[in-house]
Amino acid sequence: MSSPTTSVSTAPKWAEWGGGKHPNWTVGIEEEVMLLNTQDATLAQSIDYVLRTVSPSLADRLTPETHGSAVELATGVNEKVSEAINDLIDVRTRLKRELEPLALKVACSGTHPQAVWYQTVISSGERYQGLYGSMRELARREPTFALHVHVGVGDQEDAIRLYNRLRGHVPLFLALSANSPYWQGRDTGLASARTPLFQAFPRVGIPLKFDDYAAYVETVDLMIRSGCFPEPTYLWWDVRPQPRFGTIEIRTMDAQIDSASTAALVALVQSVSKLEHDEGWISERQISVQEALNENRFLAARDGYDAELIDADTSTRVPIAQMLPKLIEAARPHAQDLGCEAELDSLLDTDFRTGAQRQRDIVRSGASLTELVGTLAQQFA
């Protein structure tokens, strides 16, 4: 988008960039997880009860989501992926332990394999009731569960340049994270059914490029001034600046079955962010053809690791199995600097399987979808 007339010096309060509090490339993890009834592994519409009942120290790490069967877990700000994952494991373990006396358990998947829309309950919080008022019955679709990764960037102009470039990596991040093949009791044929389901919300998908931070601010503030939404977290883009935190947030990925899978994806996001900032690895054409980006997003959601994505430079389709090693090779020196090389390289293990592949493996072995959910709960912590 072209530069606006409003300068950053006259920008609204919400646009003040919160970077500089921490070193560049810090990471924070947010994951949306499903609350389950222990007896039958159905979704438990229990978030209000859970937040009232768990210990205060755990409640500080939990946030309600739009749907009453979802809760978001959050880590602190960490310089190393291993530190963030240890933090996440601690929160997962404590949540699992404190839910057991409540006849509840928890699991991670981009969708609950058997949930249907009419069982959905909207959370009672003001934000979520407001969302229902804005989006009406669209908000009552089946709940979806995502993994969000924040990467710290100290300077706002560096941040918007990184945002522009990470848009080109969104389809790959999505494909590797795909973990929602089942929906309403059937195999969708998709690797990430969460992606098209969440697309029912407005302001979703791979957003447009911005020339600079001022262009981003003016575009978003126009929507806020017009009363479309109250503040920028109502933009559910696949990648977005987070001015309050001074981060770029990757939001496109499905929640992961276990913490090891999360660690690999967070390492990829962190090291690719540093690669793009330092070297500008992806080509300008790859981030400029919006139609190709959107098509790649669909292909990634449909086919997961088996996707063949459009290479805008060569006008060909390239399998992820060929694309990924080249990206990891370029990012490895940065992963070494950041201390996450082992986590990054796990994506190249010969036995690497996405969550969608693992879920289908479980069902093909003879498990019912109810048993599949039980297995996901067993692997949660």
Read off the tokens for 6: 């409003």
The pLDDT of 255-270, averaged and rounded, is 98
**Residue carrying structure tokens 């933090």:** 87
What pLDDT score was predicted for residue 141? Answer: 60
Q: What percent of the chain has pLDDT over 90?
A: 82
What's the mean pLDDT in 95-103? 97
Higher pLDDT, 363 or 135: 363
Question: What span, in angstroms and rounded, lies between the C-alpha atoms of 241 and 166?
Answer: 11
Question: Average pLDDT of 47-75?
Answer: 92
pLDDT of residue 116: 73
In the numeric block, the tokens 């499905």 are attached to: 254
Confidence of residue 192 (pLDDT cuts 50, 70, 90): very high
Enumerate long-range contacts of 213-216, CB under 8 Å, 24 or more apart: 213/8, 213/15, 213/17, 213/156, 213/157, 213/159, 213/160, 213/241, 214/3, 214/4, 214/6, 214/7, 214/8, 214/11, 215/1, 215/2, 215/3, 215/4, 216/1, 216/160, 216/163, 216/241
Write down the residue that tokens 């522009």 correspond to: 164
Q: What's residue 138's pLDDT?
A: 53
Say what the pLDDT of residue 122 is.
53
What confidence score (pLDDT) does residue 369 get? Answer: 98
Q: 8-378 domain in CATH 3.30.590.20?
A: yes
Which single residue is written with the structure tokens 């449909």? 302
What proportion of the chain, given as a percentage, has pLDDT over 70?
91
Enumerate the H helices of the chain as residue ranges.
Answer: 47-53, 56-59, 81-99, 126-135, 156-166, 170-177, 194-198, 213-225, 259-279, 290-303, 320-338, 341-345, 355-364, 369-378
Residue 136 has pLDDT above 80, yes or no: no
pTM assigned to the model: 0.93
Instruction: Find the angle CA(239)-CA(66)-CA(113) to the nearest 5 degrees.
Output: 85
Residue 182 — very low, low, confident or very high, per pLDDT cuts 50/70/90?
A: very high
Rounded to whole angstroms, what are the CA distances from 246 to 23, 132, 146, 308? 11, 29, 21, 34
Mean pLDDT computed over every residue of the chain: 92
Domain ranges of the chain: 8-378
Report whether 245 contacts 29 (CB < 8 A): no
Burial 146-163 (b: 16+ CB within 10 A, else e): bbbbbbbbbbbebbbbbb
- Reply yes or no on whether the pLDDT at 183 is more than 90: yes
Amino acid 20: pLDDT: 82
pLDDT tier at 125 (50, 70, 90 boundaries)? low
DSSP 8-class letter at 142: P
The mean pLDDT of 58-64, rounded to a whole number, is 94
**What are the residues facing 192 on neighbouring strands?**
180
pLDDT of residue 54: 97
Mean pLDDT of 241-270: 97
Per-residue pLDDT at 4 exceeds 50 = no
Q: Which residue has the higher pLDDT, 191 or 67?
A: 191
pLDDT confidence of 245, banded at 50, 70, 90? very high
**Helix (H, G, I), strand (E, B), or coil: what is residue 229?**
coil
pLDDT given for residue 1 in this prediction: 58
Question: Residue range 223-241: average pLDDT?
Answer: 93
